[in-house]
């Protein structure tokens, strides 16, 4: 396993992050335990979850599964860099969501209880809250850090100017601020290259891409469709995307075959080669899927291959950061 620093911090994390959103809704608890055990065996030390995962209001189903896995002992908690999130709706009452100081602190306490741990390594704001001032947000996060309940703070689904505003306010309070930004980033969704990635690099914020396979569309969807094994590629965003991008996906899967790699691993290898990226989030539903994702790590894409990928999946505008992407 390869490791890197999370943003500008001294914290070492694996180049692949284990996403747990499937734990509970699509993956049973015993299978979830097996995936997490296997991840540790393979050196993956970075686990990501959220208090809303499990999609049962206020229950934190996925966090509870991870907590029961930690409770088995064997050094599991000590080996894991644990990331969870706050923002989503956890109660029907007015203060049951968002980033008010009250909700941040309450949600953290509840996540700690479900996760059966004393500290969250990376506490991420799941979405920007335009109705809460940054001084209030940082006051709550500072309190949690001072109490030893949170070690680092991250964001998710922020715009580039949100990152800059957050960091400016944190600096004025002599606080470390954001160390990571979790955003949708894949071959079919490259908007973050315009503003988010440049802002993150400028501020030493590590990029943690979610949906690196665009809901399964980049995982060999057409091949799986022919083989009758593409359950995920026949639902939701992947199904709609397949209809829209069929010709491109056909060419991409052909390119992957020429390279001798699985399309999913080429997509992951491409992300791993991108500036500012710390660790793409993989969301295996089985141990076999986890093992397969590990094959992306040794893949090196040469300049010719990267150029061909850009032809298939053009960046926004002229490519690169704004304003060069859209202006002279």
Q: DSSP assignment of 14-32, as one string?
A: ESSEEE-TTBTTTB-HHHH
How high does pLDDT run on average in the chain? Answer: 96
User: CB-based burial of residue 229 (10 Å sphere; 0-12 exposed, 13-18 middle, 19+ buried)?
Assistant: exposed
End-to-end CA distance of the chain: 42
| Closest CA relative to residue 79, chosen from 34, 107, 50, 42 | 42
| Closest CA relative to residue 36, chosen from 12, 6, 66 | 66
201 beta partners: none
Q: Which tokens is 189 given?
A: 């969704």
Q: Token pair 């994390």 is at which residue?
A: 13
List 53, 87, 152, 252, catalytic entry: 53
Residues 143-199 pLDDT 10s = 999 999 999 999 999 999 999 999 999 999 999 999 999 999 999 999 999 999 999
CATH class for domain 3-312? alpha beta
Q: How far is CA 305 from CA 38, 98, 186, 255, in A?
A: 32, 43, 16, 9
pLDDT at 231 over 90: no
Query: Structure pTM?
Result: 0.94
185 is catalytic: no
Residues 305-318 pLDDT 10s = 999 999 999 999 99
* Count of Cβ atoms closer than 10 Å to residue 30 Cβ: 9
Which pLDDT band holds residue 137 (cuts at 50, 70, 90)? very high
pLDDT at 35 over 70: yes
């Amino acid at each position: 396993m390869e490791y890197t620093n999370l943003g500008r911090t001294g914290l070492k994390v694996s180049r692949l992050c284990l996403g747990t959103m499937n734990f509970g809704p699509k993956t049973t608890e015993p299978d979830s335990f097996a995936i997490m055990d296997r991840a540790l065996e393979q050196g993956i030390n970075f686990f990501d979850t959220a208090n809303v995962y499990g999609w049962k209001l206020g229950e934190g189903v996925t966090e509870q599964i991870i907590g029961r896995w930690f409770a088995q002992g064997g050094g599991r908690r000590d080996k894991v860099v644990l990331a969870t999130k706050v923002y989503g709706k956890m109660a029907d009452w007015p203060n049951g969501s968002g980033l008010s100081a009250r909700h941040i602190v309450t949600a953290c306490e509840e996540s700690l209880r479900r996760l059966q741990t004393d500290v969250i390594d990376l506490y991420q704001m799941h979405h920007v809250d335009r109705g809460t001032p940054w001084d209030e947000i940082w006051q709550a996060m500072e309190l949690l850090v001072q109490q030893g309940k949170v070690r680092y703070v991250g964001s998710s689904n922020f715009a580039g100017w949100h990152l800059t505003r957050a960091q400016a306010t944190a600096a004025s309070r002599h606080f470390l601020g954001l160390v990571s930004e979790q955003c949708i980033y894949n071959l079919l969704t490259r908007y973050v290259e315009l503003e988010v990635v440049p802002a993150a690099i400028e501020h030493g914020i590590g990029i943690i891409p979610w949906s690196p396979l665009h809901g399964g569309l980049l995982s060999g969807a057409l091949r799986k469709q022919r083989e009758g094994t593409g359950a995920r590629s026949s639902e939701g965003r992947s199904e709609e995307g397949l209809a829209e991008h069929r010709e491109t996906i056909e060419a991409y899967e052909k390119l992957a075959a020429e390279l001798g790699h699985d399309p999913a691993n080429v997509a992951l290898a491409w992300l791993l080669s991108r500036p500012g990226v710390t660790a793409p989030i993989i969301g295996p539903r089985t141990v076999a899927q986890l093992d397969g994702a590990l094959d992306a790590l040794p893949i090196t894409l040469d300049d010719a291959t990267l150029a061909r990928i850009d032809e298939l999946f053009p960046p926004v505008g002229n490519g690169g950061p704004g304003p060069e992407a859209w202006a002279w």
